[in-house]
Amino acid sequence: MQAITISQPGGPEVLKTEERPIPKPAPGEVLIKVAAAGVNRPDIAQRKGLYAPPPGASDIPGLEIAGTITELGEGVKRWKIGDQICGLVTGGGYAAYCTVPEGQCLPIPKGLSFTEAASLPETFFTVWSNVFDRAKLVKGETLLVHGGTSGIGVTAIQMAKAMGCDVYVTAGSDEKCRFCLELGATRAINYKTENFREVIKEITNGKGIDVILDMVGGDYTPDNIRSLAFDGRLVVISSLKGKEGTIDLSLITHKRLTVTGSALRARDTGFKSAIAQNLEKTIWPLLASGQIKPVIYKTFPFEQVADAHRLMESSEHIGKIVLTIK
């Protein structure tokens, strides 16, 4: 089969097409003929040599796919050959075939294409795990999302809005802010022209935000802490502006704050399967009804993967970038 490999750590040019054996599904896994694969920030980090696959995972990049089941591993119960699914993987998504633990597969929501379905798993699993499981966001609370037009951002806006929450976001242009508002955000803050902490203080009448989903880190950290309400929760999932940030510990004790974070890729199959069950029960019907929609900025043919990575690194995109495989 054809697969995209990383010849050495570096820029997009190190991504190469290579012939690899078709993987065999282990017990509890299914083999997917991949039709589309999502492109995500962790893929960029892996290409640069900054995010190694967990032990036992494929060295081929790619964390989410959609396609058709062509083979069943021993003990697979739910799925059959010919089923069309999307799935979260620990690696191997940039390939013509990929194995997936059966619990990490989800049916493609009614009316969605392979391309749309491939844009779902990585961000939907991440948002559910961090915003609803770890931070315990509930109806009537407020959520602030940094990077509102990222794949994570467009997912978090729609999921939290559907759950009855007010969503605030930061984004890097007026155009991106307008898009977030159209998607359901209550207020979008252009971080290039506004200070998000000051805006949050004003629009919440000094109360602050219940949950902040942060993928920025660095110098955003102190303002995140100051922007939280009493009993607020800060969830850190990346640190694009730096891994070090200053925290006023007295604010944590005074406001009873929770600071947490997670990385999903290395978690075990049982953990990810539980997320899949919650998504299928709670969110998948909203995708089928159109209340929540995939947001795809651009698709690239498999062989143009380097261009897809360049676009991701430019941060010009709004929503997801997806590779299509013939």
Q: What are the structural domains of the chain?
A: 2-120+265-324 (3.90.180.10), 126-261 (3.40.50.720)
Q: Residue 271's pLDDT is what? A: 97
Selection from 203, 245, 240 nearest residue 224 by Cα: 245
What per-residue confidence (pLDDT) applies to 326?
Answer: 82
Cα dihedral sign for 36, 55, 234, 211?
positive
Q: Do the beta carbons of residue 28 and residue 101 sit within 8 Å?
A: yes
- Predicted local confidence at residue 240, as pLDDT: 81
Instruction: Give the Cα separation of 210 and 220 in Å (integer).
Output: 17
pLDDT tens for the chain, 326 residues long, are 999 999 999 999 999 999 999 999 999 999 999 999 999 999 999 999 999 999 999 999 999 999 999 999 999 999 999 999 999 999 999 999 999 999 999 999 999 999 999 999 999 999 999 999 999 999 999 999 999 999 999 999 999 999 999 999 999 999 999 999 999 999 999 999 999 999 999 999 999 999 999 999 999 999 999 999 999 999 999 988 888 888 999 999 999 999 999 999 999 999 999 999 999 999 999 999 999 999 999 999 999 999 999 999 999 999 999 999 98
Whole-number pLDDT of residue 243:
87
Q: Which pLDDT score is estimated for 241?
A: 82
Least Cα distance to 318 among 301, 300, 296, 292 occurs for: 296
How far apart are alpha carbons 237 and 221 in whole angstroms?
A: 12
Q: What are phi and psi of 35, to 5 degrees?
A: -100, -30
Instruction: State the helix-helix crossing angle for 174-183 and 151-162, rounded to 10 degrees.
Output: 30
